[in-house]
Amino acid sequence: MEQLGQFFPLLLIFVVAYFFMIRPQMKRQKDEKRFLADIKKGDKVITKSGLHGKIVDLNDKDNSCVIETMAGKLKFDRSAISMEGSKKLSPTPTKK
């Protein structure tokens, strides 16, 4: 019983770290994977480096996409698209 009391603070630290650090990170990664899988032609996106553009082509073979900008068309890896920035571009529809 005494040994259990010694390990309780360590166990409590692990549980708190899981709920405040590990679990939200796993959820964020899952959401980003779903976002990258759901992008389609015509979507307006922002890359992680800040480039704004519209998707004109998706290639599932090498997991890339072609983005049209004011300067021309550029090929990017899908992982270079920012989920947070792209969601700010397209406002959520309001229900009437």
Residue boundaries of the structural domains of the chain: 1-38, 40-91
Q: Is the pTM of this model over 0.75?
A: no
Q: What angle do CA 84, 85, 86 make, to 5 degrees?
A: 95
Give the model confidence (pLDDT) of 9-58 as tens digits: 888 999 898 889 999 999 999 999 999 889 999 999 999 999 999 999 99
Instruction: Give the pLDDT confidence score for residue 90 in this predicted structure.
Output: 65
d(Cα 67, Cα 76) in Å, to the nearest integer? 7
pLDDT at residue 91 in the model: 60
- Inform me whether the pLDDT recorded for 1 exceeds 70: no
Sign of the Cα torsion 64, 70, 71, 72 reads: positive
Q: In what order do the strands lie in the sheet with 72-77?
A: 44-46, 52-59, 64-69, 72-77
Rounded-to-integer distance, Cα 52 and Cα 70, Å? 9
Indicate if the pLDDT at residue 93 is higher than 70: no
Q: What was the pLDDT predicted at 96? A: 47
Q: Which helix (H) or strand (E) holds 73?
A: strand 72-77
- Domain 40-91, CATH class in plain words: mainly beta
Question: Which among 58, 49, 93 is positioned nearest to 78, based on CA atoms?
Answer: 58
Is residue 73 predicted with pLDDT exceeding 80?
yes
